[in-house]
Amino acid sequence: MSNESPDIKLPDPAEFAETMARIAERSQNLITEFASKQDPSKGFGMADPLNVTDAFVALTKQMMADPARFAEAQAGLWNDYMKLWQSTTAKMFGGVGVSGAGDDSGNGDSAGAPVAVPDKGDRRFKDDAWRDNALFDYLKQSYLLTARWMQNTVADVEGLDEKTARKVDFYTQQFVDAMSPTNFAATNPEVLRETMASGGENLVRGLENLLGDLERGKGKLAISMTDESAFEVGVNVATAPGKVVYQNELMQLLQFDPSTETVHKRPLLIVPPWINKFYILDLREKNSFIRWAVAQGFTVFVVSWVNPGPELADKTFEDYMLEGPMAALDAIEQATGEPEANVIGYCIGGTLMAATLATMAAKDDNRVRSATFFTTMVDFTEPGDLGVFIDEEQIQALEERMDQEGGVLDGSAMATTFNMMRSNDLIWSFVVNNYLMGKDPFPFDLLYWNSDSTRMPKAMHSFYLRHMYERNELVQPGVLAFDGVPIDLGQIKVPVFILSTKDDHIAPWKSTYAATGLYGGPVKFCLSGSGHIAGVVNPPQDPPKYGYWTNAKKPPKDPETWLSTAKQHTGSWWPEWSKWLSRHGGGKVPARMPGDGGLPAIEDAPGSYVKVRARD
């Protein structure tokens, strides 16, 4: 096998030098023009937000306390590199190994066979040159060896407390992802091919894209994930027909037009997260959960949260409860004449809904007849990767940042946090596409929604992080009090449907499962395939995309025990939920049109609140 892929050719040195000189000149002009537009007193907002120095100091101390273990790890890495060199040499002289082969450990067992192979699903090395070209194959394997050595070495260090160990592991992964050879022009075969073919124009376009993103982020790098000009809220996303029938400072309440002649008597209230916008449940007609629920005969109401500015900095978690679901239930009764309702809470909206139901139980308020929770944590004992970002020191630093920003947290901060959890897919793939390949991002409605972030009021956000994530007080009976009453999740007696997703990196399913032992009424747990978004927005379709698991038995304490005896189904979990909710629908009544009841229509759905963007 040749040690050069046929489509990776070295350029003429003189011609290449001339091309790069032209690129350098044009780049300098672009940078000069960009810099002239900036306010030097504000800098570029590039201060390091990670705050992990103490964790790595602790790691270093523990590693030095056991030098023999560290030396053993280094010897193992050296041995793997010797195997890689032998494998590469054999390949260059006609060995038969292919980098997609090898056992799960990545150890080859024949001349030229790979020593390290990418994990299944790793799309960074999909280009044929990473397999066929000996140089790029060597770069890939040496990176994988070093990356895995780093991760295994820090994971094996003993004596660190659990929080420090998790922080070290997470940020080591961030460093490993950042240092991939795919992220650098000189070591990415796709970028090299494009550079040769375009005479370096891709790098100039990439620089223009980079500077454009810096300018759009007002000095902070706001990586473009999609062509935002291709979408408009209310035009080609968030298009389910309906009306705004109520509003206050924190939310608008949307009621959607029926599509059936009769509907279930009890309306359905959806409380989405305020970290994002509600239209994740109404992106397009074919995958709109809202449209589908309407078609099943439910009168659907949705809370559309405001995108708060500094004027709402003092709004508390309790305010979100009283002016959110509590106000919505009052308005729904006015709009329909029906005092009882079923509710859905999604993510942090579900956390709020659980606190609301516990408050209502303490007040003997029985208006809610069933509750559904989508990917919701109420027990924060094991918060997953998000726990890396939350301790008292980081919360105080965040509060200082919110003070500097007028009492709100900029939406981009939360978006960056979530993106870091899948950095190869949600950060580095766009760095390569936008800045190295010089391409424009592809129009994608889900990524448009993902980029449409919202701000957080300081009072609410600080309370949520400190009392839920850090202190886990929501599951401690009587510790938290809302609307003048102490709460206990065990007093929630209504039937509950919990939907979690198997690959959720924001609300890990085993953490959400803990709620099955907290509520006082009957609980049905359902586990969907995929992650925090795709596992929820998984409509019935042909062919089916993701399956789900259910278990007829009462949920045991251990989630793995539940899964081991669960039944796996193909297709969407939506019909399973609809069948469950229909039993709590209260019978059928004629369909209700928004604005025809006790509340007049204010404006057409999706309303005006959802159209306010964080950088407006």
Residue 488 has pLDDT above 90, yes or no: yes
Closest CA to 492 of 461, 521, 449: 521
Confidence category of residue 105, pLDDT binned at 50, 70, 90: very low
Helix (H, G, I), strand (E, B) or coil at 305: strand
What the block records as the tokens of 42 is 């504000």
CB 25 within 8 Å of CB 203: no
What the block records as the tokens of 3 is 């040690």
> Measured on CA atoms in the order 235, 237, 242, 245, is the torsion positive or negative?
negative
Alpha-carbon distance of 333 to 267, in angstroms, equals 9
Predicted TM-score of the model (pTM): 0.85
Query: What is the predicted pLDDT for the residue at 45?
Result: 33
Alpha-carbon distance of 580 to 71, in angstroms, equals 58
CB 151 within 8 Å of CB 176: yes
CB 460 within 8 Å of CB 273: no
The residue with tokens 């439910």 is 298
Total residue length of the chain: 616
Q: How far apart are the first and last CA of the chain?
A: 56
Closest CA to 527 of 556, 554, 497, 506: 497
CB 307 within 8 Å of CB 454: yes
Alpha-carbon distance of 606 to 610, in angstroms, equals 7
CB 569 within 8 Å of CB 602: no
Confidence category of residue 107, pLDDT binned at 50, 70, 90: very low
Query: What is the predicted pLDDT for the residue at 11?
Result: 53
Which of 153-167, 322-336, 423-437 has the weakest average pLDDT? 153-167
What the block records as the tokens of 601 is 């229509």
CB 115 within 8 Å of CB 101: no
Residue 343 has pLDDT above 70, yes or no: yes
Counts for the chain of helices (H) and strands (E), in that order? 21, 17
Confidence category of residue 112, pLDDT binned at 50, 70, 90: low
Query: What is the predicted pLDDT for the residue at 108?
Result: 46
CB atoms within 10 A of CB 226: 20
DSSP β-ladder status, 523-528 and 496-501: parallel
Query: What is the predicted pLDDT for the residue at 279?
Result: 97
∠ CA 526-532-536, nearest 5°, is 55
Q: What is the mean pLDDT of the chain?
A: 87
Query: What is the predicted pLDDT for the residue at 121?
Result: 84
Catalytic residue (one of 335, 347, 355, 487): 347
Helix (H, G, I), strand (E, B) or coil at 146: helix
Q: Residue 99: which region, alpha, beta or left (left: phi > 0; alpha: psi -120 to 50)? A: alpha
Burial class for 616, CB neighbours closer than 10 Å (0-12, 13-18, 19+) = exposed
Helix (H, G, I), strand (E, B) or coil at 370: strand
What is the separation of C-alpha 210 from the centre of its chain, rounded to a whole number of angstroms? 23
Alpha-carbon distance of 254 to 598, in angstroms, equals 14
What is the separation of C-alpha 429 from the centre of its chain, rounded to a whole number of angstroms? 15
Q: Output the furthest CA–CA distance in the chain (Å, rounded).
A: 83
* More confident: 390 or 102: 390
Query: What is the predicted pLDDT for the residue at 461?
Result: 95
pLDDT digits (tens, 9 = 90+) for 239-262: 999 999 999 999 999 999 999 999
CB 360 within 8 Å of CB 368: yes
Alpha-carbon distance of 448 to 510, in angstroms, equals 29
Which of 8-12, 175-179, 379-383, 459-463 has the weakest average pLDDT? 8-12
Residue 313 has pLDDT above 80, yes or no: yes
> Percentage of residues in the chain with pLDDT exceeding 90?
61
Query: What is the predicted pLDDT for the residue at 29?
Result: 61
CB 574 within 8 Å of CB 286: no
Confidence category of residue 528, pLDDT binned at 50, 70, 90: very high
The residue with tokens 């038969």 is 96
> Which letter, b or e, does each residue of 272-302 get, where b requires 16 or more Cβ atoms within 10 Å of its Cβ?
bbbbbbbbbbbbeeebbbbbbbbebbbbbbb
Alpha-carbon distance of 500 to 514, in angstroms, equals 11
CB 502 within 8 Å of CB 535: yes
Residue 111 has pLDDT above 60, yes or no: no
What the block records as the tokens of 591 is 């369909």
Whether 347 sits among the annotated catalytic residues: the reply is yes
Which positions ≥6 away from 384 have C-beta within 8 Å?
A: 504, 505, 506, 507, 508, 511
Query: What is the predicted pLDDT for the residue at 564?
Result: 96
Helix (H, G, I), strand (E, B) or coil at 2: coil
Query: What is the predicted pLDDT for the residue at 68?
Result: 72
Query: What is the predicted pLDDT for the residue at 542?
Result: 84
Query: What is the predicted pLDDT for the residue at 50?
Result: 46
Q: Does domain 242-389+453-611 have CATH number 3.40.50.1820?
A: yes
Residues of each domain in the chain carrying CATH 3.40.50.1820: 242-389+453-611
Average pLDDT over residues 557-580: 97
The residue with tokens 């065990």 is 490
* More confident: 121 or 585: 585
Residue 602 has pLDDT above 60, yes or no: yes
Average pLDDT over residues 26-46: 49
> Percentage of residues in the chain with pLDDT exceeding 70?
85
Alpha-carbon distance of 423 to 425, in angstroms, equals 5
Alpha-carbon distance of 72 to 78, in angstroms, equals 10
- Among the residues of 37-113, which ranges form H helices? 53-65, 67-92
Confidence category of residue 614, pLDDT binned at 50, 70, 90: confident
